């Protein structure tokens, strides 16, 4: 849905410059220039860009691997190099918009020159372009960073880059989400564990992570030993499996952890909650025999769909990634594992896409992506088959034959990162959380001093019943109290005046359903409790029909 071009230019581009560039682009497009492709030698490509004083293009040419085709694309006023393909004529480019300018280091290296990157978007029709721009406008309103600040959910600051400071409302959402996942996993037969944050380098070397990821790991040193802050939980979970002698009768063993991980992501890639350096996963590992893989995967698929539906996502996209060229394990084991994953999907009559060669080096995987209210797709859940790590870390169980066997290890997560998933929730709901997940579920609005005393009693009863309620004792007029509650996206406002005090009731206003009328305190508590239990969007759905 977009493109960009990096440009070396002495002066910073301004919004007026973008307008002028757009105007010139439209003039060129209107000329209906043909776009011709020419396959050239490395020498000819170098000469083409040296003659035009384009050193960056010359460097790109020099770095193209031997044997790879080099293409120049020409129209009447310009020549460029690209892998292609391109449109055959400029008239196909009429529906576009230049969006913004930002700095970009050449080759992404901060030691190189800073270029200016112009972003744009282009579409086949004007209606598609307008729809996309409208979606971007809506996405901007829903930006989790803006709403996080407005609703005081979280913040991130320069002296802890990529680390989240959760404010009380945001931490409330986090805890509710975690408690929900914890209960789901408990019912599904998982045993929750906790493993250390810092582990000796030798474990990471043995697991293979040190060689592959050491540049992305935070490390420390103590008493002549090297340690790494864990970037993932799997090697530590194997350590728990390895304690004691395991039998085939014990399998499958399902371990779960809300494991806090740290990864030294480049600062330029950090993006609010969506890309952080410290995150917590709803991580889990299933240790099973080969003939248990399909049933475990099948149960996990059901779990994923259940959780996503509860959280408001009905459309789930599925991809199956199979063996890469470089891999461990025999073809026979890969055949069996890939078939187990495919059968688990097919037996549920699910649509899925195949990604040949995109599996991990240790086994195939299924990825689950959800689609939000703006049609954006977010890859969240995954289940991966691993033959390698259990063997590397000496995991074994006693089989039916009395011999030691290596278990299959299934890496799985439903949400992925809590931080990222909460960012997705904020944007999907525009900060207007479902009742059960809201950090402030009911705000009580007393309209007199007499009502305030009764309101305090109501609040205590709600809190004792597990309903997150607050009391607005600012003394503002009712209209202002309601407006403040609506701006704060409170799901339910409970208005108390002299009539409500006399009747031992509250008058309710639902953010989603409007006026709910008067309700007794006991009935309100019952509705709220059922809404929390049923993970409901609104308490209105929990009221008995009249």
Joined together, the tokens standing for residue 385 give 């088959």
Which is catalytic among the residues 230, 263, 277, 509? 263
Return d(Cα 491, Cα 509) in angstroms, integer: 8
Per the annotation, the verdict on 263 as an active-site residue is: yes
* Active-site hit among 57, 142, 246, 411: 411
Who's near 83: CB < 8 A, 6+ residues apart?
71
Phi and psi torsions of 52, nearest 5°: -105, 10
Per the annotation, the verdict on 315 as an active-site residue is: no
Q: Which residues have CB under 8 Å from 174's CB, separation 6+? A: 166, 418, 422
User: Can you read off the two tokens belonging to residue 468?
Assistant: 């997150």
> Alpha helices of 157-232 — where are they, by DSSP H?
168-187, 201-207, 209-213
Spell out the residues 6+ positions from residue 107 whose beta carbon is closer than 8 angstroms to its own: none
Of 283, 386, 472, 538, catalytic: 283
E strand or H helix at 226, and its extent?
strand 225-229
Catalytic residue among 142, 234, 246, 294: 234
**What number of residues does the chain have?**
546
| From 209, 281, 386, 420, active-site residue | 281
| Angle at 447 (CA atoms; ends 442, 449), nearest 5 degrees | 110
Q: Among residues 22, 88, 59, 267, which one has the least CA distance to residue 160?
A: 267
Q: Please measure the distance between the N-terminal and C-terminal CA atoms of the chain and give it in whole angstroms.
A: 49
Token look-up 């009863």 returns 461
| Structure-token match 């409302």, residue found | 169
Query: Is residue 438 within 8 Å of 468, Cβ to Cβ?
Result: yes
d(CA 278, CA 379): 19
Residue 270 to residues 66, 152, 277, 278, 437, Cα–Cα distance (Å): 35, 20, 8, 11, 26
Instruction: Taking the CA atoms of 347, 352, 356 and 361 in sequence, report the sign of the dihedral they define.
Output: negative
Q: Is 275 a catalytic residue?
A: no
Quick check: is 380 catalytic? no
| Phi/psi of residue 416, nearest 5 degrees | 90, -115
Helix H or strand E segment including 97? strand 95-105
> Kind of pairing, strands 3-7 and 114-123?
antiparallel
Residues in CB range of 263: below 8 A, 6 or more apart: 216, 217, 218, 231, 277, 279
The reply to whether 405 belongs to the active site is no
Cα–Cα nearest to 281, from 301, 261, 305, 304:
261
Look-up: residue for tokens 């007393």?
A: 446
User: DSSP readout, 493-523?
Assistant: EEEE-HHHHHHTEEEEEETTTEEEEEEEHHH
Whether 214 is catalytic is no
31 is a catalytic site residue: no
Q: Catalytic residue among 57, 327, 365, 509, which? A: 365
Q: Which of 237, 254, 275, 285 is catalytic?
A: 285
Q: Show the beta-strand stretches assigned E in 404-471.
A: 404-405, 408-417, 442-446, 469-471
Active site residues: 234, 263, 281, 283, 285, 365, 411
């Amino acid at each position: 849905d977009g493109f960009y071009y990096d440009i070396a230019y002495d002066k910073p581009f301004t919004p007026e410059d973008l307008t002028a560039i757009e105007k010139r682009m439209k003039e060129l497009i209107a000329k209906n220039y043909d776009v011709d492709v020419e396959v050239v030698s490395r020498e000819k490509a170098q000469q083409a860009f040296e003659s035009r004083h384009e050193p960056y293009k010359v460097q790109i040419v020099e770095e193209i691997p031997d044997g790879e085709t080099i293409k120049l694309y020409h129209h009447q006023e310009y020549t460029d190099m690209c892998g292609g393909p391109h449109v055959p004529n400029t008239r196909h480019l009429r529906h576009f918009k230049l969006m913004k300018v930002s700095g970009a280091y050449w080759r992404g290296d901060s030691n190189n020159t800073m270029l200016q990157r112009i972003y744009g978007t282009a579409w086949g029709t004007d209606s598609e372009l307008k729809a996309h721009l409208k979606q971007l406008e809506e996405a901007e309103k829903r930006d989790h960073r803006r709403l996080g600040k407005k609703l005081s959910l979280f913040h991130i600051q320069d002296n802890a880059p990529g680390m989240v400071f959760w404010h009380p409302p945001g931490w409330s959402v986090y805890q509710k989400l975690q408690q929900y996942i914890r209960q789901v996993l408990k019912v599904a037969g998982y045993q929750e564990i906790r493993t250390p944050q810092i582990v000796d380098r030798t474990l990471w070397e043995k697991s293979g992570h040190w060689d592959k990821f050491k540049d992305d790991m935070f490390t420390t040193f103590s008493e002549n030993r090297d340690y790494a802050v864990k970037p993932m939980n799997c090697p530590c979970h194997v350590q728990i499996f390895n304690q004691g002698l395991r039998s085939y009768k014990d399998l499958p063993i399902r371990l779960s952890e809300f494991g806090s991980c740290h990864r030294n992501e480049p600062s330029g890639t950090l993006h609010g909650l969506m890309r952080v350096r410290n995150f917590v996963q709803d991580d889990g590992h299933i240790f099973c025999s080969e003939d248990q893989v399909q049933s475990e995967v099948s149960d996990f698929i059901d779990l994923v769909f259940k959780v996503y539906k509860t959280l408001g996502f009905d459309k789930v996209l599925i991809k199956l990634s199979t063996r890469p060229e470089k891999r461990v394990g025999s073809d026979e084991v890969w055949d069996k594992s890939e078939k187990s994953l495919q059968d688990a999907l097919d037996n549920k009559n699910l649509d899925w896409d195949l990604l040949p060669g995109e599996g991990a080096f240790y086994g195939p995987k299924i990825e689950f992506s959800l689609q939000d209210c703006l049609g954006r797709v977010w890859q969240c859940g995954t289940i991966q088959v691993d033959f390698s790590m259990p063997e590397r870390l000496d995991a074994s169980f006693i089989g039916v034959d009395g011999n030691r066997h290596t278990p299959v290890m299934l890496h799985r997560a439903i949400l992925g990162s809590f931080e990222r998933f909460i960012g997705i929730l904020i944007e999907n709901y525009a900060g207007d959380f479902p009742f059960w997940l809201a950090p402030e579920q009911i705000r009580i609005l007393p309209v007199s001093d007499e009502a305030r005393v009764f309101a305090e009693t109501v609040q205590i009863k709600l809190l004792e019943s597990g309903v997150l309620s607050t009391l607005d004792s600012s003394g503002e007029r009712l209209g202002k109290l309601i407006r403040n509650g609506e701006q704060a996206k409170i799901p339910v406002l409970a208005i108390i005046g002299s009539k409500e005090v006399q009747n031992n009731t509250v008058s309710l206003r639902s953010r989603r359903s409007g006026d709910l009328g008067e309700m007794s305190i006991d009935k309100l508590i019952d509705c709220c409790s059922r809404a929390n239990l049923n993970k409901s969007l609104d308490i209105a759905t929990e009221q008995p029909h009249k």
